[in-house]
A and B are shown apart, each in its own frame.
Chain A
Amino acid sequence: AQSVAQPEDQVNVAEGNPLTVKCTYSVSGNPYLFWYVQYPNRGLQFLLKYITGDNLVKGSYGFEAEFNKSQTSFHLKKPSALVSDSALYFCAVRDTNNDMRFGAGTRLTVKP
């Protein structure tokens, strides 16, 4: 069965600094990988996904993620963090059987 790990419950960065939110996965076959963001009192919003092709995928709000097959990782990155990026971030994986798994979430706090 597939699984997703987000090793950090909390990530704190200063505004303007680069940010990384980590995600590792375990899945049989080729994975579909996703990042979602949740703002307070809101549902999850899609940020970006990796299906196939270029290992670096770009998404909404300036976020990007790098798929690394050898390390089974899909870390979310942004070159320059904004205070408005503060939210809860979820990594998710879907395998070829269409089973969907979410990580436990990482709370990102960007301080002015």
Chain B
Amino acid sequence: EAQVTQNPRYLITVTGKKLTVTCSQNMNHEYMSWYRQDPGLGLRQIYYSMNVEVTDKGDVPEGYKVSRKEKRNFPLILESPSPNQTSLYFCASSPFPGQGYEQYFGPGTRLTVT
């Protein structure tokens, strides 16, 4: 089944404790992206990647890191999480953005930082 998977689905952590949220897609998509969803703000893009070893900042990159060493994986790293990073996070992929392809979303990761 074609899908985007994220792990973990739920995570409660403490301020400053480094964490990684994994994202993997099995559709051989070029483009991958991370979003955070907050009430009243919709989805805001954190980082995106056009291909392996190519990453770019989105609208809200502060406090986050990403890497794209393999085409299928795009982990999101929070080196020192803070309470304002409590949010719902989504990973997404698409064949290539420039052609107007829709994105396929993972199920989401609900992160709470205390």
Complex CA–CA separation, A90 to B105 (angstroms): 13
B102 at the interface (CB under 8 A from A): yes
Scoring B residues 85 to 114 as 1 if CB is less than 8 Å from chain A, else 0, what string do you get? 000001010000110101111111000000
Contact present for A49 and B102 (CB under 8 Å): yes
Residue of A nearest to B43 (CB): A102
* Total A-B residue contacts, Cβ distance less than 8 Å: 50
A98 at the interface (CB under 8 A from B): yes
Scoring B residues 1 to 36 as 1 if CB is less than 8 Å from chain A, else 0, what string do you get? 000100000000000000000000000000001010
Complex CA–CA separation, A34 to B48 (angstroms): 18
Tell me which of A6, A36, A100, A103 contacts B45 (CB under 8 A): A100
Number of interface residues of B (CB under 8 A): 23
Number of interface residues of A (CB under 8 A): 23
Stretch from A14-22, A40-48, A67-75, A78-86 at the B interface: A40-48
**Residues of A in contact with B (beta carbons under 8 Å apart):** 4, 6, 9, 32, 34, 36, 41-46, 49, 51, 90, 92, 94, 98, 100, 102-105
**Residues of B in contact with A (beta carbons under 8 Å apart):** 4, 33, 35, 40-45, 48, 50, 90, 92, 97-98, 100, 102-108
